[in-house]
Structure 1
Amino acid sequence: MQKIKTALLSYGMSGKVFHAPFLEFHPGFVLVGSWERSKQLIQLDYPNVKSYPTLEGLLQDDIDLVIVNTPVGTHFEYAKQVLLAGKHAVVEKAFTTTVAEAQELVNLAKEKGLKLSVFQNRRWDSDFKTVQKVVTDKVLGELVEAEFHFDRYNPLLSPKGHKETVNSGAGILKDLGPHLIDQALYLFGFPQSVFADIRITREHSLVDDWIDILLYYSDFRVRLKAGFFVREANPAYVIHGKKGSFLKPRGDVQEDELKLGKKPNLDSWGTEVPGNEGLLHTEIVGRIIKEKVPTLQGNYYDFFDGVYQSIVNDTEEPVTAQEGLQVMQIIEEAIESNAQGKIIAL
C-alpha cells in the first residue's frame, strides 16, 4: 500500500484531536511530524515523529501532504508556501479570509497539479449524515425551508488570543459559520442570494459572536444560526417540506471521544448514544407517520480516506478547494449584506 508522508503545521487541539489520531489509524498515512513553535508536545504522544522548529525545515523534508491547521488568518500564507514547495495540502476551515485568497490557492494547486482539500469534517458527523439521507430520500416532499443551528452556551471569551482580537480570521462567522454554510451548500447547492445579521453579544467581545444567515433559493429558504447564549439548545437541524418535517438534535460523539483520548475504529466509531434520534413526521404513500429515525454512523476517517484516494488514485478531493471557495463567497457576501442591511445577489 502506498504511504502518504504527512506533517501538521501545529499540534494544538486540532492537531492532537482531529488529525493525528486518523493519520495514525489510516494504513495509508505516515505521520512524519509537526511544526512546533515553542512547546514540543507531539513526541509525547508519538515518540517516533519529528518536531520541526521552522516551517522551512518541514517543507524541505520528504513529505507528501501538509495539514494547514493554524489560525484562520495564516491559512492563505502557509497553504501557498506548502503548494509552492510541491506538497499536497489540507486546509482547515475557514479556508481563507477572502475569496481572492481562495481563488489564488485554487489556481495554484491546479497549476502545480497538486491536491488541495478543505477540512470540512462536519459532513461526516452522524447527525448531518442522517439529515442528508432524509433529504436525499425525499420523504418530506418538496422542501419549503430548512434551519441549521450550531448553538453553544459560553459567555466567556476564548483564552486563545487570535480568536478574540480583531483580525481577518476572527469571529464566529469564520469559525462555526463555515460548518453551517458548507453543509447547506453540500445539501442544497449554491443559493441565488443571501441576507445576514451579524452581531456581538458577549460582554467585552471585540469580534462577532452571533450570526443569522438566510440563503435564498428559487423555491425555498435555508437559515443558518450560531451563537454563544443558547443554554437550552434548539434542534440542530429543522427541515420542513410540503409533506412533512424532520427535526434532529446535535448528537455526534466524535469530538468528545477524541478529546478523551479514544482512538477511532471502523466498527463502532461515531455511533450516537440512544435518545438523540431525529423525529420524522410526514406522509408516505398516503399514510401519516410520526417516528424516530435511527441515526447513521459518523466517521471522520472517511474524509482522510478520501484525501488518500485523491492523491494515490487521482480522484476528486473529499471536499474540493472550489467548494471551499464557494463557502468564502457566502461569508464575504454575508459581511456585505450585514454592512448594507440588505439582500445581496450572488
Structure 2
Amino acid sequence: MAGTVFHAPLIRAVPEFELAAIAGSAEAAALIADPAIDVVVIATPNRSHYPLAETALRAGKHVVVDKPLTVTSAEAVGLIALAAEQKRMLTVFQNRRWDGDYLTVKDAVRSGRLGEIALFEAHWDRFRPAIKPGWRETPAEGAGLFFDLGAHLIDQALQLFGTPEALTADIGAQRSDAEVDDYFRLTLHYGRLRVNLSAATLIAAPRPRFAVYGTGGALVKYGLDPQEAALKAGIDPRSPGFGEEGPDLYATFTGADGAEERIPAQPGRYVAFYEQVAAALCDGSPVPVEPADARAALRIIELARESARERRRIAI
C-alpha cells in the first residue's frame, strides 16, 4: 500500500521526478545498482529499512525512507553518518506533518490564542476487531501499532513541543488473537504541560483526533485527514479540492468565556514532501524531514517500551 497509495502518486505529481522503476524487496538490489536511478524510495517492512537504505547509500543514491527510518536509534545514527560520508540526501517520509488537521492545530498552538498549553491530546483510533493479515500484525522487530502509528504521533509532538523531560507509557495487546501490541498510551512530560498520545484498535466511536487545552481556551478536532482515503480511491493529488475537509469536520475553538467558534481545517498536502525533496536535490534547500528528527522519535519509542515494561516514569 505504501508504494501504490502514497509514494507513486505523489512522485508523479512533482514534475522534477520521473517514476522510473518499482521493485519488491527481492528485486531491490538490481534497482539500487541501476546507474540511471538517482533516488531510491524504501517503502518496505520496517525491519528491512536499514539494510536497504545502507545498500542504496553505498551505491551513491539519494534515499527516501518511509517512517520509521529504522527500528533502532543506533541504526538511525549509522545511516545518518553514512549519508554524510557519501554526500547523499537522506530523508524520512513523515507524511503526517502535512495532514490538514495537524497543520490547523499547529497554527493554533503557535498563534498563542490558546494561551499557556496545559494538556495536548492526539488519538488515532480504529475499530478493527479482526487481525489484519500482514507483517505489521506478525511478531517481528518493527511490528505492532506503536511502531506504526506511534512514529507519526511522536514526530508531531516533538515538532510542536520539542524534547520532553520525561515519559510514561502503557503498551499492550487488547484483542484476543493479537500477537503484537494493538494499543498504546504515551504521556510526554514538559514541566506543567502533559502531552498524551494514544492509539487503539477497539474504538467504535473515535475520540477527538486532536484536543488542546490552555489558559486561553480549547481546540478540539474530530476526523482523520482525508488524503489517504482520496489516494486509495485513485484521486490525483493535483486535483482541485484534494486534501480539503467539509464543514462537518471543522475544528471547534472554545474561548475562555465559553463562546464557540468553528475553525476550517487547512487543506492537507502530502505532495509538499516530494516538492521539498526536489528542492533539496535541485537547489540545495533543506530536506523536508531531517533524519535526526526520526532518530529522536526512535529514541522516544525505545524509552517508552522500557517505561511500559518496567511500569515507571523515565527521564529523558
TM-score by length of 1: 0.89
Given candidates 3, 7, 18, the residue that maps to 1:30 is 18
> How do 1:32-111 residues align onto structure 2 when only pairs under 5 Å count?
32-36=20-24, 54-61=27-34, 62-111=36-85
> How do 1:212-251 residues align onto structure 2 when only pairs under 5 Å count?
212-251=185-224
> How do 1:268-283 residues align onto structure 2 when only pairs under 5 Å count?
268-283=241-256
Identity %: 38
How much does 1:256 deviate? Answer: 0.6
> 3-state SS of the aligned residue for 1:230?
coil
- Find the counterpart in structure 2 of residue 307 from structure 1: 277
Q: Does 1:15 align with 2:3?
A: yes
- Find the counterpart in structure 2 of residue 156 from structure 1: 130
CA contact (8 A) 1:214 1:223 kept: yes
Deviations 1:235-266 (A, max 9, x none): 01010001211001124111111111111116
> How do 1:248-267 residues align onto structure 2 when only pairs under 5 Å count?
248-265=221-238, 267=240
- Find the counterpart in structure 2 of residue 344 from structure 1: 314
Distance in structure 2 (CA, Å) of the matches to 1:186 and 1:315: 19
Amino acid at match of 2:103: K
Amino acid at match of 1:215: L
Q: Measured at CA, do residues 267 and 303 of structure 1 come closer, stay the same or move farther in structure 2, by a change above 3 Å?
A: same
Deviations 1:195-247 (A, max 9, x none): 10001101111101100000011230100000101100110101000121100
Amino acid at match of 2:262: K
Unaligned runs of 5+ in 2: none
Deviations 1:284-337 (A, max 9, x none): xxx764111011111101111111111111121111100010110110000111
- Find the counterpart in structure 2 of residue 297 from structure 1: 267
Amino acid at match of 2:42: V
- Find the counterpart in structure 2 of residue 131 from structure 1: 105
- Find the counterpart in structure 2 of residue 141 from structure 1: 115
- Find the counterpart in structure 2 of residue 50 from structure 1: none
Distance in structure 2 (CA, Å) of the matches to 1:140 and 1:36: 47
CA contact (8 A) 1:251 1:272 kept: no
Distance in structure 1 (CA, Å) of the matches to 2:171 and 2:31: 39
With a CA cutoff of 8 Å and minimum separation of 6, indicate the structure with the bigger relative contact order: 2
> 3-state SS of the aligned residue for 1:32?
coil
Moved over 6 A (4+): none
How much does 1:282 deviate? Answer: 1.6
- Find the counterpart in structure 2 of residue 41 from structure 1: none
Amino acid at match of 1:127: D
- Find the counterpart in structure 1 of residue 170 from structure 2: 197
Amino acid at match of 2:250: E
CA contact (8 A) 2:247 2:264 kept: no
Deviations 1:138-165 (A, max 9, x none): 11101101010011000111111x1222
How much does 1:77 deviate? Answer: 0.9
How much does 1:55 deviate? Answer: 2.0
- Find the counterpart in structure 2 of residue 117 from structure 1: 91
Distance in structure 1 (CA, Å) of the matches to 2:27 and 2:226: 35
- Find the counterpart in structure 2 of residue 48 from structure 1: none
How much does 1:36 deviate? Answer: 3.1
CA contact (8 A) 2:280 2:287 kept: yes
Deviations 1:80-99 (A, max 9, x none): 11111111111111221111
Q: Count residues with an aligned counterpart.
A: 315
